[in-house]
Structure 1
Amino acid sequence: MTLRKTNPPRIVIVGAGAAGLNLATRLSRSLGRKKAAEITLVDENLTHMWKPSLHEYSVGTKGSDEEISLLEHSHRNRYNFRLGRFAGIDRDRCMVQLDPVNDLHNRPLAPLRSLPYDILVLAIGSRSNDFGTPGIKEHCLMLDTPTQAKRLQSELLNLFLRLETGALGKDHSTININIVGGGATGVELAAELREATEQLAHNGIDRLRDPGIVHIRIIEAAPRVLAALPEKVSKKVTRHLGELSVAVSVNARVQHVTSQEVHLADGTILPSTLTIWAAGIKAPEVVGTLSTLETGSLGRLKVRPTLQSTHDEKIYVIGDCAECFWPEKDGFLPPRAQVATQQAEFLEAQLTAHLAGKPLRNFHYIDRGSLVAISQEGAVAALMGKAIGTVTFEGWLARRAYNYLHFQHLSSVQGWLRAVVLTALGKAMRRVRPRLKLH
């Protein structure tokens, strides 16, 4: 009697962000290489950018050479990569539904199709929350995805070129850039943008040699920037922003936005050559179509302590799109990269136990603090622990700690040796190439 070989269980991960790519890499090295599972990663992009670095890509201080090719990465780590835009789930048939992906000329790259799964992991991240504010979709740029980061970089460079050549016209002697949202994204973008304008002044955009030409302002509805972090961190960051000539407006709620102005609820009208929206997050709109799964605040998918969705034990949810209860704070976990990373690490062992029919564990998050970059050589850090409490520090050491977070992520998805080589090469190349992407 010949025994029929059974196919390994299929684990499909949707989303190649910090959580999804990390998990796919880990599972491919453990379950995949042992043929204990077939790992498939799905994303609508061909490359991965670490989301906390999107503000650097958006102003050109990081270039496309630092992106990770998902095709190459999947081949090297022996998992499947499928190009597709997540559209929904057929839970009865255990199928992931994918919408088509087109190129810049609207030609199809990937058709409408479905993928079967035995275990599904949703790691589809988050999107900016416009809170229904009029004019946001029409007149603001966002910074949620690699595509949006590249568009913002192009828009900024073209704006400064038009200033230099006179194409803006005589009525535009200054540029006003308003960043709505004083969280980590808004603060880091403002600081990076100021540094980028200084670099552009040394690379042919002579008008930018006058520091008063470009006005950068953060608009925050809360009483202070970085309202979710300790007040000590907020005060230090506010001081550094002032040193960089970045204006900060707090207790300022945006009422509506036009092509040239930002209107505040108190009647203030701010001129705006370019408006960038970085105020709050919500789950991607596609989550709202998943009627058979339970959603919570900000449209995120509710999960059990095991990180399984509340209505389907075959579906796990991690990262920004998951609403996971945080017992220590009597609330929900924040949308941070360290949460996504810890969940990816946890889920590697969790899925191994799931496939083996062993009891599942509950996820426990350890808050190690926060880091906010305020220049290429500076940052503010707040480290947390039971033994030390909350310790804040800034400057060169904090920036090195910030860079180390990126190195940790790179090491988890590329391997330690490859991460060391890539980091060393990156430092060497920065000595011989422009500090900004100038095209």
Structure 2
Amino acid sequence: MHRFIVVGGGAGGLELATRLGDRYGGAGGRHRQPRASVTLVDRYQTHIWKPLLHEVAAGSLDPFTQELPYAAQARWHGFEFQQGELKSLDRAAKRITLGSVLDDDGVELLPPRVLEYDTLVIAIGSTTHFFGVPGAAENSIALDTVAQAERFRKRLIAACMRADHQVSEPVQHDGSGTAEPRIQVAIVGGGATGVELSAELRNTAQVLSAYGLHNLDPRHDVGIVLIESGLRILPALPERVSSATAELLVKLGVRLLTGERVTEVAPGVVRTASGKSVRADLTVWAAGITAPPVLSQLDGLAVNRIGQLVVRRTLQTETDDNVFALGDCAACAWPGNERNVPPRAQAAHQQASFLLRALGNRLEGRPLPEFTYRDFGSLVSLGHFSAVGNLMGGLIGGNMLIEGLFARFMYMSLYRLHIAALHGYARMVLDTFAHWLRRTTLPRVKLH
């Protein structure tokens, strides 16, 4: 049988492995003859939709209710799961090497392994780009994994509880005479992650106060500063979306610092090129992405300046017809635009759907089609306060700014479509209902 290996269980990789298993693997029951073997590789045991991590960090989402075990998904959809981190590629022998898997105490659970393939799809996503800023990696928290998001959430609760016991101390003032907040969170990067996190944190401060975890004023004693090097937040989105979002954030009490390039992150302070020093009890780094370093070490595969695999319109790598790439780790041309296909969940979803058809052609010996990205617009969530974005392209036949309840509904629909791609629409409806029931019986923010 043809051997498909998909490396990376993110939004695009897991959707592709699931649908390949349904169509060509053993998902049809033991009486159906599989046409291909499908293997998914990931270094973690569970999947969570990465755009949800800012909600995990703010405590408004319990990750354990949203995580999906890869082994269970493999059992339900006719593919195999192998845990391990991609270490090397031998293109001549058509095989990859996975590193060993260790438990929490550093004891080896699984040894290094070698897997052979006929078609390899690399979908390992992206990691945070610190741009070489001194102290950024050591003194700030990125939001690439559930563990990082949970670490920030626990540190936020601890900081609020500590600050609560310092209320009787003299109030400090900044240079303008305005009272400084008792606790301040600095978020570096005014893209979607930074903007969404800043709004969620405002809600978190209010809920923690309501449940008695601190007696601070959630608006004045808990400060949130969003630092962006560009002249406006959300620089990749239309200016009117950026302006509408900025207005909403200011109303929520978020302090915006635009045109400020961070030059150093030290314990308790963020320094910028203009000479500003921003006090920071907690610092989140959300200023950019880069491809995982392993991609530049994969047996001669071409990469661009940020380490993404350069692919053709067929999503095959420039170097090897048997190796494909999708999602954030792929540099795919976007005809008619100066930049490549953007690193968004909707792009990964479209590429996974495209590869399902393209790999079917490959099995049958037919020519591969070319991928065309369709931009349906962008949506930014401001928590339960609001949402803002633009719908465009084939969805409405134009470009329309949307905000408020309708935008919030559209944003929530993105995740539900991901669930439908993994489980089907019937289970998606049941999952939505179960999620609603949980939210009605639990606090809006995780308190422990």
TM tier, shorter chain? over 0.9
2:48 aligned with 1:49, yes or no? yes
Q: Which residue of 1 aligns with 2:426?
A: 417
Q: Shift of residue 291 of structure 1?
A: 4.5
In the alignment, the residues of structure 2 paired with residue 421 and residue 232 of structure 1 have an alpha-carbon distance, to the nearest angstrom, of 37
Q: Shift of residue 86 of structure 1?
A: 1.4
Q: Shift of residue 36 of structure 1?
A: 1.1
Aligned-partner residue type, residue 42 of structure 2: D
Q: Which residue of 2 aligns with 1:268?
A: 276
1:118-129 to structure 2, matched below 5 A, reads 118-129=118-129
Q: Which residue of 1 aligns with 2:30?
A: none
Change (3 A) 1:49 1:170: farther
Change (3 A) 1:214 1:347: same
Q: 1:391 aligns with which of 391, 400, 410?
A: 400
Q: Which residue of 1 aligns with 2:24?
A: 31
1:300-351 superposed Cα distances (whole Å, 9 cap, x missing partner): 0000110001101111000000000001213211111100000000000111
1:352-391 to structure 2, matched below 5 A, reads 352-385=360-393, 388-391=397-400
Q: Which residue of 2 aligns with 1:155?
A: 155
1:159-188 superposed Cα distances (whole Å, 9 cap, x missing partner): 223334569x99997111100000001000
CA contact (8 A) 2:91 2:299 kept: no
Aligned-partner SS, 1:163:
helix
Q: Shift of residue 146 of structure 1?
A: 2.4
In the alignment, the residues of structure 2 paired with residue 250 and residue 244 of structure 1 have an alpha-carbon distance, to the nearest angstrom, of 17
Q: 1:312 aligns with which of 312, 320, 328?
A: 320
CA contact (8 A) 1:198 1:208 kept: no
1:206-256 superposed Cα distances (whole Å, 9 cap, x missing partner): 323442111101100000000110000000000010011011100000011
Aligned-partner SS, 2:120:
strand
Aligned-partner residue type, residue 407 of structure 2: A
1:51-90 to structure 2, matched below 5 A, reads 51-63=50-62, 64-90=64-90
Q: 1:438 aligns with which of 420, 424, 447?
A: 447
CA contact (8 A) 1:377 1:399 kept: no
Q: Which residue of 2 aligns with 1:97?
A: 97
Q: Shift of residue 377 of structure 1?
A: 4.6
CA contact (8 A) 2:296 2:302 kept: no
1:349-387 superposed Cα distances (whole Å, 9 cap, x missing partner): 111111111110000000000000012251002001266
Aligned-partner SS, 1:208:
coil
Q: Which residue of 2 aligns with 1:18?
A: 11
Aligned-partner residue type, residue 26 of structure 1: R
Q: Which residue of 2 aligns with 1:199?
A: 207
CA contact (8 A) 2:54 2:143 kept: yes
Q: Shift of residue 110 of structure 1?
A: 2.5
- TM-score normalised according to structure 1 size: 0.95
In the alignment, the residues of structure 2 paired with residue 146 and residue 380 of structure 1 have an alpha-carbon distance, to the nearest angstrom, of 25
Q: Which residue of 1 aligns with 2:178?
A: none
CA contact (8 A) 1:176 1:216 kept: yes
Q: Shift of residue 109 of structure 1?
A: 2.7
In the alignment, the residues of structure 2 paired with residue 233 and residue 45 of structure 1 have an alpha-carbon distance, to the nearest angstrom, of 35
CA contact (8 A) 1:200 1:208 kept: no
Query: Gaps (5+ residues) in structure 2?
Result: 27-32, 173-180
2:406 aligned with 1:405, yes or no? no
In the alignment, the residues of structure 1 paired with residue 193 and residue 58 of structure 2 have an alpha-carbon distance, to the nearest angstrom, of 13
Change (3 A) 1:428 1:304: same
CA contact (8 A) 1:12 1:39 kept: yes
CA contact (8 A) 1:163 1:207 kept: no
In the alignment, the residues of structure 1 paired with residue 261 and residue 218 of structure 2 have an alpha-carbon distance, to the nearest angstrom, of 30
1:80-134 superposed Cα distances (whole Å, 9 cap, x missing partner): 1111011121112211111122222222232222211111100000011111111
Query: Gaps (5+ residues) in structure 1?
Result: 1-7
2:33 aligned with 1:40, yes or no? no
Identity percentage over the alignment? 40
In the alignment, the residues of structure 2 paired with residue 154 and residue 225 of structure 1 have an alpha-carbon distance, to the nearest angstrom, of 27
Aligned-partner residue type, residue 52 of structure 2: S
- TM-score normalised according to structure 2 size: 0.93
1:233-312 to structure 2, matched below 5 A, reads 233-312=241-320
Aligned-partner SS, 2:422:
helix
